[in-house]
Structure 1
Amino acid sequence: MSLAPDATVVLLAVPLAASALLAVLPSYRLSAALNVAAAFAAFLAAASLFVAAPRPNAYIVIDDLNVVFIVLNTFVGFTASVFSATYIAHEIDTGRLGATHLRFYHAMYQFLLFAMNLALIANNIGLMWVAIELATLTTVLMVGIYRTQAAIEAAWKYFILGSVGIALALFGTILIYMAAQPVVGEGVPAMLWTTLIEHAPQFDETLLDLAFVFLLLGYGTKVGLAPLHAWLPDAHAEGPTPISAVLSGLLLNVALYAVLRFKLLLDGNARALAPGPLMVTLGLVSTVFAAFMLYRRRDVKRMFAYSSIEHMGIIVFAFGVGGPLANFAGLLHMAMHSLTKSAIFYAVGQIAQVKGTQQIAEIRGLTVSHPLLGWSLVFGVFAIVGLPPMGVFMSEFLIVSSAFERAPWLALTLAAGVLLALGALVLRMQGMAFGAPVGPTAPAKASALPMLSHFALVLIAGVWLPPPLVAWFQHVAQLLR
C-alpha cells in the first residue's frame, strides 16, 4: 500500500494537531519536545513523497515541482524547531518571554508550518492564496511577540505591506479564474492547477497577462523583491531568531513557488506575455539594490535580511532567464540559500544572546571570545557570498554562465551586484569576527547542531551533488521551461 496519501495527511494534520496541543501545554520541556517531534514527522512524510506520490484531487496535488519545495520546507522547519528548543529557553531565563508567550510561540510555529505545507500542496489556487495569507498573519503575530515598541511597529508594517501584497495576489487569482471560466466552466474546476495547466493554451491572453502582473507584484511582496521589500528587514530584526530563519529559509520560497506556478500558465499560452523579462527586471533590481544597502546596515540581523533580498533577486532572475541550465541553477540556489541563510541566523541568534545586542559596532572579536560562533559566522559569510567550494558558488556560477549566453550585459550587472554584496558582508564580518573581544564572554547556550548540519550540507553540495538529486533538479528545470 502506498504511503504517499498518508504522507499528505501527516503534512497537514500533524502540525495542525500539534498547534492545538501546544497552545495549552504549560511545560517548556514537553512543548519543546513535541514541537521538534511534530516537525520531524512532517519531514519524514515529505521525504516519503520522493518514493510515492498520490494522485491529484480537488484539494491536493503532488508533482515533481512542489516535492522539492516541500522537502526543503520541512527539513528547515525541523532544524529550526531543534534550534528553538534551546534558543527560547534562554529567552525565558532572561525574562524576555513568559509562559504565555511560550505556548503562543510553539502553537504559532506549528500553525505556520501547517500553512506553508498547505500552500505548497494545494491544487486549488484559491486555497493556496488562503494558506499564504494564513502564513503571513501567523508570522505577523510572531514578529511582535516581544511586545516592544520596535517589535510592534515591525509587525504592523509587515501586516500592512503584506496585506497590500496579498490583496494584489487575490485580484490576480480572480483574473485567472475569469480567464479559465469560459473554457472549463464555473466552480472548482476553474481553480485547479491540474485543470488550468491543461487548458492554458485556450485562455484569454489579455486576462493572463494582467493577472500575472498582479500576481508577480502581490506574491513578489512576500518574496521580498525590491521595491516591495520594506517589511522584511524590520521583521527579521525584531522577531525571534528562529522565525528569521524560517522567514528567509522557507516563507520566501513558498511565495516564490506561487510565482513559478503562475509562470507555467503563461508559458503554456503562446499568445500570452512572456513572464521572463518582468522577472529578470525585478530580480536584477533587487540584487543590485540590496547589495548597495548592505553597506549602510548597523544591525546584524537587518544586514542579513538585505542579503536575503539580494539572493531572492538572484533566484527570480535565474527563473526569469529560463532554460534548463538557468532553471537548474535557480533551484539549486534556492536550496543553498535556504540552508545557508537559516544557519547564519542560527549563529547570529546565539551571538545576539551572548553579547546582548544586535548592533554590529558592539560585536567584536568573536573568534577569540566565542571561537565556535566566530568561525561559524566567518564560514557562513564565505558561503553566502558564493566563495568556492561552497554550494552557493556553484549555483551563482551557473546562473551567471547561463545569463551570458542570452544577455551578457544583464549577466555583468548581476555579477557586479554579487561582488558588491560580497564586499559589504566580508567587510562587516571582519570587524565582528576578529580583533580584541568586546562585551560579555558568557558561553552560548543554544544548540549548535542545526547550524553545523546546514553548513556541512552546503559544503558537501559545493563539492559533490548526489546523482539522483541532480537528475531530479534537471527534470524539474525542464518542466519550468
Structure 2
Amino acid sequence: MTLFGLNAVHLALLIPALTAALLALSPGYRLSAWINSLAAFLTFLATASLFFSRPPVGLYLQVDDLSVVFIVLGAFVGFTTSLFSASYIAHEIEIGRLTPIRLRFYHAMYQVLMFAMNLALMSNNLGLMWVAIELATLTTVAMVGVYRTHEAIEAAWKYFILGSVGIALALFGTILVYVAAEPVVGQGLRGMVWTVLMTKVALFDPPLLNVAFVFLLLGYGTKVGLAPLHAWLPDAHAEGPTPISAVLSGLLLNVALYAVLRFKMLLAANHAALAPGPLMVTMGLVSLVFAGFMLYRRRDIKRLFAYSSIEHMGIIAFAFGMGGPLANFAGLLHMTMHSLTKSGIFFSVGHIAQVKASQRIDDIRGLTVTHPLLGWALVAGVLAIAGLPPFGIFTSEFLVVSSTFARQPWLAAPLVLGLLVAFGALLLRLQGLAFGEPSPGAAPVRASYLPMLAHLGLVLAAGLYFPPLLTAWFQHVARMLG
C-alpha cells in the first residue's frame, strides 16, 4: 500500500502523528471525535495492508510476521476504542467531568499513543523501541490523570513512578545487550539493530546476555503487568477514562510483551546463554495464581477486570515461556482473544458505570433486568474471559493446558489451579452484577453498543471457527518464536 510515495509503515506512523497535531487545535467535540475515529480507521487500513506487502528492512524500521500480528491487532482495537470513546466522552462532557481544554488534550494524546505503539512494534532498533514504549507510557500516564481528581492524579503518579522504574531497568538491559554486541558487531548504530544482532548473537558473551535479559524481563514485565510488578495497573484502570482501560488491556500490555518476546528470541539464539523460558513461566504462574485470588476481594468493577488482565497476561507469559510450536500458538491466540474480549468488557463496563453513576460492584445489580442488552453482553464477556466454550479463550486455554500436560505435567497443577480460582471469582461476581435484585439508578444508554458487540462477536466466532489462513499464519509465527 503506497500513497504519494509513502508505504504502509510510513502511513501507520504519519497518520496518528499528524492527526495528534490537528486534534490539539480542534475546538469542537464532535469534530475532534470524528477526526480521531477516522484517523484510527485509516491507520488500521494501513497496517492491514502489511499482510500483503511490506517495505524493505531498514536500520530503524522493519516489519516481519511477528510484528504484523501485534500491529494489526493493536490498530483494530485502537479503531474500535476510538468509536466507543466518541460516545463515551460525550457523556463525560455533559456531566462536567471533562472540559473542552482537557478534551483537546485527550484526543491529541490518543493519537500520540497510537503513534508510539506503532513505532515500538515497527522498530528495528532496540533503542528506538525503548523510546517508543516510554513515550506510550508517558502518554497513558497523562490520560489516566485527565479527570484531575485526587484519585486520578494519585493513580497517574503511581503509574509514572513504577513505570519509570520499569523503563529504567529495561534501559539498563538494553545497554547491556549493546555492550555484549560491541566486540562482535562493532561500535555504532549496528550494535542496536535487531536484524543485525540476530545474525551475530551466537558469538555474544553469554553472562552479559543473561544479566541483560533479567533486567529486560523485569523492566518490560512491569509494563506487561506481571506480578509482583503490577501495582500500577489496577489504579490506572480504575481512575482513568474507560477507553484508556480498554487501550491499556488491549494494546499497551501487548506492546511491552512484544519487547520481551524480541529479547527472548535474541537470547534463545545464543545456546550458551540461559534459557529465558523458565523465568517467564515462573512470572506467568505467579501472576496467574496471585491475580486469581485477588479477584475475590475487588469492590470496584474496573479493578476487578484489571486483575483479570494481570491473570491473563500471566497465562500468555507462561505459554510463551513454555515455548514450542503448540504453546507459542496458544500464546498468540490467547493474546488475540484477550485483547478483543477485555476491551469489549471495558466497553460494557463504561456503559454500566455511566448508567449506574458508580463503579462500585455493590451499586450495580440486576443488569439483565434494567438493561437487558447491556447485562447479557456483560454475561457473554465474563463467560468468554473466564474461558468457557464456545468462546475463543476456551480454545487458547485448552491448548495451553494440554501442551503443559504433554511436556511438563507437574506445572499443569498450579496452572489449572490458577485458572479455576479466577473462574470461580468471576462467576461469583457475575451473579450479582447481572442477576441480583436490580439496584437503583437505571438511566438509559445513549452510547453505541456497536464496538462492544463487534468484539464479543469476533471472540465467539473465533471459538466456533478460526479461519485456516489465520491458523497457518499463527503457526508460522509460533515456529519463529522457537
TM-score range, shorter chain: over 0.9
Quote the residue 1:66 is aligned against: 67
Provide the rounded CA distance (Å) in 2 between the counterparts of 1:305 and 1:174.
32
**1:284 equivalent in structure 2:** 285
Does the CA-based 8 Å contact 1:39-1:78 persist in structure 2? Answer: yes
Q: Take 2:6 and 2:190, find their aligned partners in 1: how far apart are those partners?
A: 21
Paired with 2:358 and 2:198, the residues of 1 have a C-alpha distance of 50
Q: Distance in 1 between matches of 2:440 and 2:268?
A: 55
Q: What residue in structure 1 maps to residue 267 of structure 2? A: 266
After TM superposition, the score normalised by the length of structure 1 is: 0.99
* Amino acid corresponding to residue 134 of structure 1 in structure 2: L
Amino acid in the other structure paired with 1:320: G
Please give the alpha-carbon distance, in whole angstroms, between the structure 1 residues aligned to 2:455 and 2:202: 42
Residue 439 (structure 1) shift: 1.8
Partner of 1:385: 386
Is 1:325 aligned to residue 330 of structure 2? no
Superposition pairs for residues 271-420 of structure 1, below 5 Å? 271-420=272-421
The one-letter amino acid of 1:41's match is L
Structure 1 CA distance, aligned partners of 2:446 and 2:214? 47
Aligned partners of 2:217 and 2:260 also within 8 Å: yes
Does the 8 Å contact 1:5/1:53 carry over to 2? no
Matches within 5 A, 1:4-153: 6-153=7-154
Q: Which runs of 5+ in 2 are unaligned?
A: none
Query: What is the Cα deviation at residue 436 of structure 1?
Result: 2.2
Amino acid at match of 1:388: P
Aligned to 1:452: 453
The one-letter code sitting in structure 2 at the alignment partner of 1:253 is N
Aligned partner of 1:192 in structure 2 is 193
Instruction: String of CA shifts for 1:88-128, please: whole Å, max 9, x gaps.
Output: 00000111101011101000000000000000001100000
Aligned to 1:222: 223
Residue aligned with 2:138, SS = helix
Once the two structures are superposed, residues 220-261 of structure 1 have per-residue CA deviations (whole angstroms, 9 ceiling, x without a partner) of 000000000000000000000000000000000000000000
**Structure-2 separation of matches of 1:285 and 1:241:** 27
What TM-score does the superposition give when structure 2 sets the normalisation length? 0.99
> Aligned residue pairs: how many?
481
Separation in structure 2 between the aligned mates of residue 155 and residue 336 of structure 1, nearest angstrom:
28
**What does 1:465-476 align with in structure 2 at a 5 Å threshold?**
465-476=466-477
What CA distance in whole angstroms lies between the structure 2 residues aligned with 1:40 and 1:133?
24
Partner secondary structure for residue 49 of structure 1: helix
Alpha carbons 1:365, 1:433 under 8 Å: kept? yes
Shift in Å, 1:5 = 5.6
Give distance in 1, aligned partners of 2:410 and 2:253: 27
Task: Report the secondary structure of 1:54's partner residue.
Answer: coil
Amino acid in structure 2 at the alignment position of 1:241 = T
> How big is the shift at 1:447?
1.1
User: CA offsets per residue over residues 48-96 of structure 1, 9 Å max, x none?
Assistant: 0000011110111100100000000000000000000000000001111
User: What is residue 429 of structure 1 aligned with on the other side?
Assistant: 430
Q: How far apart are 1:435 and its partner, in Å?
A: 2.6
* Alignment pair present for 1:236 and 2:242: no
**Cα distance between partner residues in 2 of 1:343 and 1:2:** 32
8 Å CA contact 2:2–2:8 kept in 1: the answer is no
Greater shift in the superposed pair: 402-411 or 16-25 = 402-411
Question: Residues of 2 paired with 1:342 and 1:160: CA distance?
Answer: 25
CA distance in 1, matches of 2:2, 2:438: 57
The answer to whether the 8 Å contact 1:250/1:338 transfers is yes
Alignment partners' CA distance in 2, 1:248 and 1:176: 29
Distance 1:296 1:235 in 2: 18
Counterpart position of 2:214: 213
C-alpha distance after superposition, 1:145-194 (max 9, x if no partner): 11111100000000000000000000000000001111111111000011
Give the Cα separation in 2 of the matches to 1:5 and 1:256.
Answer: 29
* Counterparts of 1:256 and 1:244, CA distance in 2: 17
- Render the CA deviation track for 1:21-64: whole Å, top value 9, x for unaligned: 10110011110000000000110001000000111101111001
Q: Distance in 2 between matches of 1:167 and 1:152?
A: 22
Deviation for aligned residue 1:2: 6.2
Distance in 1 separating the partners of 2:87 and 2:392: 28
CA distance in 1, matches of 2:412, 2:58: 41
Amino acid at match of 2:49: S
